[in-house]
Amino acid sequence: MKFELLGWKCEGLRCPDFNFEIDKSGNATATFLQMPNGTGKTTTLRLLKRSLYNHQFKSTEIDQYKAKLKKEYKDKGFFQAKYKIEGNIFYTQINFEFDKNNSYYTSSLSEKGGFHKGFQLPESLENIIDQELIDLLFVDLEIDVKPMFRNHQTGAQEAIRKFCKINLIDLLIKDFDDFKTKKRKENAPSGNISVQIDTEETRFNKIINKIEKLEKIKLDYKKYLNETEDEFNDGEKQLNDILESNTVSNKKRKDLELRRDEAKSNYNNLLKNNLEAIKNIGSYDGILRNEIDDFVKALDEMGLPEEEVRIFFKKILEKKLCICGEELDHNKKLIIKEAMESFISDEESRIIGRIKGTFDNITRIEKNDLDKFSTDIQKQYSEVSRLEENIELLEKKSLKDNVELSQKIKELKEERSLRKNFLENIINERWKAKDTEETDSLVSLHEQKLRVEKQLATLSGTRETEEKVIFLNNTLKSAMEKAMLEISIQITKECNKKIDKMFVKNPIYIRSIEKNIVLDGQLEGSTGQEARIGIIFLLTILERSSIEFPLIVDTPVKGMDNAAKRRTAQFISDLKSQFLCFVIDSDKPHFTDEFHKLTNGESNFITAFRRSNEFDNLILNQPKNLLESSHNGQVVYQYPFFKEFTEEEDGN
């Protein structure tokens, strides 16, 4: 399937009124669009994205698109994009009513126009395109690609899931879940059981609501971490440089840090030893020993060798006939299984067994005084706190002229650490029997959901459907995880082959792509390195998914040295699908001029700028058929002009 962007037109917006026709010659795959800063590159990229999915514009966003200059302000404006899918042309248009703070879509599925109100894509694209896909194909390297390298982000993993259609499995699992809920509701009995079902359903809904709430928080936190990453790293580096510049204080600080690390390590060891002692119940001394002694005796009085009881139940389940002589059918086995679970779980049985086991060996175990452990831990903790306070005081002194920055970075550190902890630990905490739907652990909520569903299935008599759906969904999940792993390995290999070609000196390879792109031997790359690897990654998954979609990139060579720019040009010149990028004049040496040479000029080089007296003079001698003018915007289609254009308006 071949899908192309043919052009776009905008009027009455903050960027000048432009009318772009991307491929005038009709056979080029790459387009370079030179727009000086302040001409609306970011606005254009954003509106191109919005032109392919039904975006709900908020009033604050609408306000951002209106003309900034008073003399250019109009009550209405629009952005119209023209596309081609398998030879058929279609349009989508975003209409802005700035006077009413309103916006709406119109679309046309035919070349001749005839716009209808509402957002509509041709049928062949409807099921393929959504916001996630567009965000991957219309890329701002700073905003969209950089996060793929951050360890708390999952952009790379999501891109693979999207392009390789692994997400379909999630939809299928949801379908089966919905189906079993439907069956359960159809089977709901009346009377007392119905009340129990209602209670469980209420709990079920609370769990679902909490999961949805946490998923939203997860996204917000990821966004926050991404948005504050550069500010935090730069600020921290700046503060560190200041601290390092003061030799005497720096030496003192390093010494304190060493002692603090040592104290911390001692503290951790004490905690570890204490934990081991706590696990070894039989070694307790003093009052605690007497209490456990009573507990073990009570267990024995209750006749609890628990594991034997479970073996008894399990043996019954293996038989064809029950001890009462009746045949053990599926339903009866279920009842026995439930009785076994409610008596004591495997895990509980093992815990109690262990307690009794260690207590039986009491005479052979060395005694542990937990009170002494506690005193030592407190002492060591105070030492760590004291050293940390001293470090903080010393740092405060050294940074007395940078209080504001220091305070800002401290706040960011705390906030980021809280959010990282939430993403890495809190939502992944294991399920515990005492957990309720109030927990912040997604793992626990999913386990609770499963348990409530099982209970509901039992109450409504749909246990068989429930078990089959669980079996099927677990099989699909397992297939999905294994596929994801294998595809990630294959994509990593393919990217590294491309890196070999693109990075001649000091190549940086990808070690793995699980959640994010992990580089081999370094935590992160420079902006230029990450940009190149990011483009390689996106193109690799594009190739793999065998779709010919346009890849639209803002500032593709930002932060690259000259050699890297040349290799990027070479790499892009081999592409089969449409490529469009926005450049500024400083991107041209070694990049667009190299590309022009490589492709013998068979590419589109377009320049667009806001009109002014100075710029109008530049086009006086240009052929009219290569110009597209409006009252405030000018588009010029021609390589020589593209190459020569170097002026940028001041103040934009």
Partner 1 sequence: MNIDQVLIDKIKEEFKEKNQSEDLIQEVINLLAKKDKENMTLEEKNITLESILNKIKI
- Contact set with partner 1 (CB under 8 A): 1, 127-128, 163-166, 168-169, 171-172, 175-176, 179, 182, 465, 467-469, 471-472, 475-476, 478-480, 482-483, 486-487, 490, 544-547
Q: Where are the alpha helices (DSSP H) in 12-150?
A: 41-50, 59-65, 123-126, 131-137
Q: How far apart are the first and last CA of the chain?
A: 40
User: Strand runs (DSSP E) across 126-273, as ranges?
Assistant: 138-140
CB 599, min distance to partner 1, A: 27
Q: Are 628 and 15 in contact (CB under 8 A)?
A: no
Judged by beta carbon, residue 224 or residue 471, the one nearer partner 1 is 471
- CB neighbours of residue 297 within 10 Å: 11
- Distance, in Å, from the CA atom of 103 to the CA atom of 119, rounded to the nearest integer, reads 12
- Distance, in Å, from the CA atom of 379 to the CA atom of 390, rounded to the nearest integer, reads 17
Task: Look up residue 344 and give its DSSP letter.
Answer: -
The pair of structure tokens assigned to 7 is 């052009």
CB 575, min distance to partner 1, A: 17
CB 179, min distance to partner 1, A: 5
Judged by beta carbon, residue 158 or residue 648, the one nearer partner 1 is 158
Judged by beta carbon, residue 2 or residue 76, the one nearer partner 1 is 2
Judged by beta carbon, residue 149 or residue 163, the one nearer partner 1 is 163
- Distance, in Å, from the CA atom of 39 to the CA atom of 391, rounded to the nearest integer, reads 49
CB 182, min distance to partner 1, A: 8
CB 55, min distance to partner 1, A: 21
Judged by beta carbon, residue 195 or residue 479, the one nearer partner 1 is 479
The pair of structure tokens assigned to 336 is 């026995």
CB 128, min distance to partner 1, A: 6
CB 544, min distance to partner 1, A: 7
Q: Which of 519, 591, 643, 452 is nearest to 150 (CA)?
A: 519
Judged by beta carbon, residue 54 or residue 274, the one nearer partner 1 is 54
Tell me the residue type at 129: I
User: Strand runs (DSSP E) across 477-529, as ranges?
Assistant: 510-513, 517-519
Q: Which of 68, 93, 54, 221 is nearest to 147 (CA)?
A: 221
Q: Are 125 and 27 in contact (CB under 8 A)?
A: no
Q: Which of 19, 1, 29, 9 is nearest to 93 (CA)?
A: 9
CB 618, min distance to partner 1, A: 43
Judged by beta carbon, residue 163 or residue 359, the one nearer partner 1 is 163
Judged by beta carbon, residue 133 or residue 214, the one nearer partner 1 is 133
Tell me the residue type at 38: G
3-state secondary structure of 251: helix
Judged by beta carbon, residue 59 or residue 478, the one nearer partner 1 is 478
CB 481, min distance to partner 1, A: 9
Give the CB-side neighbour count of residue 330, counting CA atoms within 13 A: 6
CB 476, min distance to partner 1, A: 7
Tell me the residue type at 205: N
The pair of structure tokens assigned to 422 is 């939430």
Q: Are strands 627-629 and 633-637 parallel, antiparallel or unpaired?
A: antiparallel
Judged by beta carbon, residue 109 or residue 405, the one nearer partner 1 is 109
